[in-house]
Structure 1
Amino acid sequence: MQSVKHGKPFPEWQQRFMQFMFEVNDKSGDNEIDIDEYTTVWNKSYGIPVEECREAFHKISDGKNITREVFEMLWIEYFVSNERAARGNYLFGIPDFI
């Protein structure tokens, strides 16, 4: 992960997985994830309570829909950031350390 932290891309398999996860969340296929799409996926597929989903979405979205570019930035941050407050830590819901 150090190479990714310094600007190199993830391995091909992880880039594909990231794209897959974006597409799973983008139910409408409009290349953006909105709060309803995010909440539906994480609540129905993973059992995260709706209010937690909404709180996490607000942390990662800055009040806007999440584009592929933003999703990629959050994905990278989730895997390489050492900062507890990093927005990417909320990509998969509310982190346990909060």
Structure 2
Amino acid sequence: MKRIIKSFEENREHILGELPGKFHKDFELELQKLSEATEQEVGNEHEMIRNELRFHPQLDEKVVGEIDLEAHAPISPPSDEEQKQAMDSELERVKAEIGEI
């Protein structure tokens, strides 16, 4: 969401140049509302999910606490030592496999 707002702000002049003058004020107001909504979103993400569930009554609200909010975060890359160990291990496995042939 923040990327979208940033894009709007970076392209504000172009957008306003393309919009008829009567919509400039509306655009500015909507952009301001969007910025304020994003600031509120930074709070409790579980609460935001509960609010969304109002529109999906077939879903059980009890699962909200079980949702891992960091599940989408990338894992850290292995260290140089871990990579070297993995390569050495794979090399030994391949050598052993070749030896069996």
User: Which structure has the larger Rg?
Assistant: 2
Higher strand share: 1
Q: TM-score, normalised by structure 1?
A: 0.27
Q: TM-score, normalised by structure 2?
A: 0.26
Larger RCO, structure (CA 8 Å, separation 6 or more): 1
